[in-house]
């Protein structure tokens, strides 16, 4: 594509922001001819909604500018990483609808090159093997207000450093007894520049490189070099890496790697009200069995949101709406819910489900009548479905009262209500069990009211939903509420003290028979109840399990 086209390309995925402005300038000035970004997750957990923001930014920019985006696993810490995480990350990125350039990359693909660059730094007198203990090293580092002190090992000769680094590589040092450090400035106001460790010893098997290495490069050394090797133009990360940019540039400027060099830009991370966006904290919820795995529908993970019924389009729209800035902020949870609600309101077929069933008997009706109902109130193209109207029906307990004032526009003893997509019925009498609980509501129906008002001008205000009691599918409903009782659970010392005990309520009820064909990944609006989806793990045609995706209307926040 020509440069003009690149410059005029529309911001479809990513709304204009300070990063797109920088890119526009870089293209206009000829600094870059094309754009290459990357998404660099560490495979130490499942991706969460914060990562979705970063994915939509990196892949979205590549799409908007007809550029490329790599998927790169930042796998320098084998102890915490796992192939299960790698697989889940690939699945999540693909599910969001993005395509990475070529094969997924791994920082570990570059371990040989990284090692060579470390040798180059040693030869230039810019790196040394330190034998301070981790405690001493911390002590020597100084504080934000006090400069650090040089390590006694700092002035070793190049030859000595080369020999010692070789010994580190050959496993001749124990873990924690030696490390390779960049020789920068122990008095720098930036802690990251105080002779940062660039290689450490870990006798750990790596999921990609096996037992080949017992020294592993640190993130700051690896990330910039990986970006440069992959010819990344704009390396986008979150604000906590702002200071690290100095080290990013220092490393690249001091090694002989192809120019032009990539540049790092930082944006603010997504914080979402009432949730955690830290893999470490989410892992703890999984380990402590507070949730049922990483993809529990209450988790803010991409896999949890998928199982909950969120669509890729809704998450991409969310990322678009929140935008990209440098200001730290907390996004209200309702902003995320609004995105899925908008999507499902337009796209979800309607269906009826009774979650707290009570039986209705239509005494003046026999047999079964097949009624037809639209799948969507204003999208004819979504077709129609058949509903079985039978003598025995279920309605929701909450839709009936023996006595009520005019505000209660549902079924009341002696009064009428419309059954959605069917007839007007009148409650005649009830039957109760010994505890006083209503077991059956006996009704009559008006056969002249299918799709029209009573001919004598009687006004029937309310409409309630229903399901046949004899032609239906039993279903389990998993009704979710927020997982935490506070807006900022990440700030809590004891997360257990702020878990909402009612974050999951399970109900057994009925859905219309059509839902025997419910598909995973398809959202439904259960009329008057909410948006639901078939659970991908426990739900199937023989055992329908539906997850509440989102309520019909915005619910109260904290």
List interacting residues with Mg ion (CB under 5 A).
42
Q: Please tell me which residue in 279, 306, 341, 350 is annotated as part of the active site.
A: 279
# residues near ligand ATP by CB under 6 A = 16
Which of 43, 122, 58 lies closest to 324, judged by CA?
58
Burial 409-440 (b: 16+ CB within 10 A, else e): ebbbeebbbbbebbbbbbbeeeeeeeeeeeee
Smallest gap from Cβ 84 to ligand ATP, in A, equals 15
Own/partner long-range contacts of 343-348 (Cβ < 8 Å, ≥24 apart)? 343/311, 343/313, 343/314, 343/317, 343/523, 344/309, 344/311, 344/523, 344/525, 344/531, 344/549, 344/550, 345/525, 346/379, 347/523, 348/376, 348/522, 348/523, 348/524, 348/525, 348/531
User: Under 8 Å CB-to-CB from 29, ≥6 apart: which residues?
Assistant: none
222 binds ligand ATP (CB under 6 A): no
Interaction between residue 50 and ligand ATP (CB under 6 A): yes
Residues 74-113 that bind ligand ATP (CB under 6 A): 74
Nearer to ligand ATP, 246 or 391 (CB): 246
**Among all residues, whose Cβ is closest to ligand ATP?**
50
Given 24, 26, 42, 292, the residue binding ligand ATP (CB under 6 A): 42
Nearer to Mg ion, 42 or 481 (CB): 42
Residue 156 touches which member of Mg ion, ligand ATP, none, C-beta under 5-8 Å by kind: none
Q: Which of residues 458-497 bind ligand ATP (CB under 6 A)?
A: none
**Residue 279 appears among annotated catalytic residues:** yes
CB of 135 closer than 8 Å to CB of 273: no
Instruction: Pick one of 56, 61, 237, 354: the residue that binds ligand ATP (CB under 6 A).
Output: 237
53 binds ligand ATP (CB under 6 A): yes
Helix (H) or strand (E) holding 224: helix 219-229
Q: Does 244 bind ligand ATP (CB under 6 A)?
A: no
Query: CA–CA separation, 207 vs 108, rounded Å?
Result: 9
- In Å, the largest CA–CA distance within the chain is 104
Instruction: Please spell the DSSP secondary structure of 518-531, one letter per residue.
Output: --TT-EEEETTTEE
When asked if residue 238 is in the footprint of ligand ATP (CB under 6 A), the reply is yes
264-303: which residues touch ligand ATP (CB under 6 A)?
269-270, 277-280
Asked if 51 touches ligand ATP (CB under 6 A), the answer is yes
514 binds ligand ATP (CB under 6 A): no
Question: For Mg ion, which residue has the nearest CB?
Answer: 42
Distances in Å between the alpha carbon of 227 and those of 59, 69, 142, 263? 15, 11, 31, 9
From 15, 42, 392, 420, the catalytic residue = 42
Partner from ligand ATP, Mg ion, none binding residue 40, C-beta < 5-8 Å depending on class: ligand ATP
Q: Does 243 bind ligand ATP (CB under 6 A)?
A: no
What are the catalytic residues?
Answer: 42, 269, 279
Instruction: Note the residues at the interface with ligand ATP (CB under 6 A).
Output: 40-42, 50-51, 53-54, 74, 237-238, 269-270, 277-280
């Amino acid at each position: 594509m020509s440069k003009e086209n690149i410059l005029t390309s529309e911001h479809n995925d990513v709304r204009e922001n300070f990063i797109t402005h920088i890119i526009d300038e870089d293209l206009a000035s000829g600094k870059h001819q094309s754009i290459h970004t990357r998404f660099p997750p560490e495979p130490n957990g499942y991706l969460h909604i914060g990562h979705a923001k970063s994915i939509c930014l990196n892949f979205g920019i590549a799409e908007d500018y007809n550029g490329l985006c790599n998927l790169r696993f930042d796998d320098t810490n084998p102890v915490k990483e796992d192939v299960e995480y790698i697989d889940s990350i690939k699945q999540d990125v693909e599910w969001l609808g993005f395509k990475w350039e070529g094969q997924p990359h791994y920082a570990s693909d570059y371990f040989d090159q990284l090692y060579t660059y470390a040798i180059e730094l040693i030869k230039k007198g810019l790196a040394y093997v330190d034998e301070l203990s981790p405690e001493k090293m911390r002590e020597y580092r100084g504080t934000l207000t006090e400069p650090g002190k040089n390590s006694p090992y700092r002035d070793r000769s190049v030859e000595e450093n080369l020999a010692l680094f070789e010994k580190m590589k050959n496993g001749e040092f124990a873990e924690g007894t030696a490390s390779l450090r960049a020789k920068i400035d122990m008095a720098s106001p930036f802690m990251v520049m105080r002779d940062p460790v660039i290689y450490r010893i870990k006798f750990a098997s790596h999921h990609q490189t096996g037992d080949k290495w017992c020294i592993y490069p640190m993130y700051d050394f690896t990330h910039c070099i990986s970006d440069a090797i992959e010819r990344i133009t704009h390396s986008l990360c979150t604000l906590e890496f702002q200071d690290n940019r100095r080290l990013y540039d220092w490393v690249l400027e001091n090694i002989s790697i192809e120019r032009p060099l990539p540049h790092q830009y930082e944006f603010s991370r997504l914080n979402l009200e009432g949730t955690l966006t830290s893999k470490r904290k989410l892992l703890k919820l999984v380990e402590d069995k507070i949730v049922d795995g990483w993809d529990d529908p209450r988790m803010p993970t991409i896999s949890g949101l998928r199982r909950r019924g969120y669509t890729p389009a809704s998450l991409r729209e969310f990322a678009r709406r929140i935008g990209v800035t440098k200001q730290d902020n907390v996004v209200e949870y309702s902003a995320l819910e609004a995105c899925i609600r908008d999507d499902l309101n337009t796209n979800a077929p309607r269906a009826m489900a009774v979650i707290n069933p009570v039986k209705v008997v239509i005494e003046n009706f026999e047999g079964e009548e097949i009624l037809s109902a639209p799948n969507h109130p204003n999208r004819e193209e979504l077709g129609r479905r058949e509903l079985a109207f039978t003598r025995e029906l279920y309605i929701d307990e909450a839709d009936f009262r023996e006595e009520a004032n005019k505000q209660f526009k549902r079924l009341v003893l002696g009064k009428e209500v419309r059954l959605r997509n069917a007839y007007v019925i009148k409650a005649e009498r009830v039957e109760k069990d010994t505890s006083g609980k209503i077991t059956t509501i006996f009704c009559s129906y008006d056969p002249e009211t299918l799709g029209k008002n009573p001919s004598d001008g009687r006004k029937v205000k309310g409409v309630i939903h229903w399901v046949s009691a004899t032609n239906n599918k039993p279903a389990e409903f998993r009704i979710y509420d927020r997982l935490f009782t506070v807006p900022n659970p990440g700030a809590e010392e004891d997360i257990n003290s702020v878990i909402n005990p009612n974050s999951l309520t399970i109900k057994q009820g009925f859905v219309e028979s059509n839902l025997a064909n419910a598909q995973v990944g398809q959202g439904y609006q259960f009329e008057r109840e909410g948006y639901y989806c078939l659970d991908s793990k426990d739900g199937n045609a023989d055992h329908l399990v539906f997850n509440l995706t989102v309520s019909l209307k915005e619910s109260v926040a904290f």
